[in-house]
Amino acid sequence: MLEAFITNLGRYNEGYLDGAYLKLPAEKEDVQALLKKIHVDGVRYEEIFITDYETDVPGLYDCLGEYESIDELNHLAHVLQEVEDQHDMDKFAAAVELGERTGSIKDLINLAQNLDCYYFYPDIKDEEDLGLYFVEELGALDIPDNLRAFFDFEAYGRCLAMEGGAFTDGGYIEGELRGFVEVYSGREDIPEEHRIFAYPEPVSIRETLQTYRDLSTKPPEEERPAPVKAAER
């Protein structure tokens, strides 16, 4: 559902792209193994940044930036994993596309836990679809059969959409309808079992120095790839 390409910032500034994908949610051991692989040891190389994301949640990619917290990303992945119903996952994707609460991972975590604040109508692509659905499926208006052929469903759908909804790739979503509760206020609310960032276990000084020597003899990459994405914050 979510993968982040973790990159060694120090090595990147030296002309190298030392990085690897971390599949989330993950365990602390997964992070330590990845950091060791990309030479982030917490001594000479401490800083990381994220140069790419892979996700099957439409719209989520564009909400995530280069310097997100690994622990917060992991918590978000856990929260999304708990959204078991496909309708709710589609609703989350539509709410992300709506864009009202997507400015940070904090917003996304809270959004995923407040999906009952939204109404979502799959496969409703335009105003005419919306008008037809409300009349024929929801019974919002009682239109006599002899007048139905003359009724302007598109105009009716346009009036409905003016109340705060939006058409998305997955369907029509009505914006925040009931009280939105901030369940997550910041990193202090991350459960301990979701906190996974940890540097690799220290190795001997001899092994560390040998690693640094090996890295220093490798010529810089002539065409170092630039970060693939960096969402505007």
Work out the pLDDT band at 163, boundaries 50, 70, 90.
Answer: confident
pLDDT tens per residue, range 140-158: 999 998 888 999 999 999 9
Q: What is the pLDDT of residue 222?
A: 55
pLDDT tens per residue, range 31-83: 999 999 999 998 889 999 999 999 999 899 999 999 999 999 999 999 999 99
Residue 79 and residue 112 in contact, taking contact as beta carbons nearer than 8 Å? yes
Element (H, E) at 21: strand 19-24
**Cα–Cα distance for residue pair 118/165, rounded to 1 Å:** 10
Q: At what angle do helices 86-98 and 105-112 cross, to 10 degrees?
A: 140
**Cα–Cα distance for residue pair 63/103, rounded to 1 Å:** 7
Residue 10 and residue 46 in contact, taking contact as beta carbons nearer than 8 Å? yes
Residue 25, preceding bond cis, omega within 30 degrees?
yes
In whole numbers, what is the pLDDT of the chain averaged over residues?
Answer: 90
Task: Please compute the mean of the pLDDT values over residues 70-97 and round it to a whole number.
Answer: 95
pLDDT tens per residue, range 187-213: 999 999 999 999 998 766 767 666 766
pTM of the model: 0.85
Q: What is the pLDDT of residue 201?
A: 83
DSSP for 69-91? -HHHHHHHHHHHHT---HHHHHH
**Cα–Cα distance for residue pair 67/119, rounded to 1 Å:** 33
Residue 54 and residue 2 in contact, taking contact as beta carbons nearer than 8 Å? yes
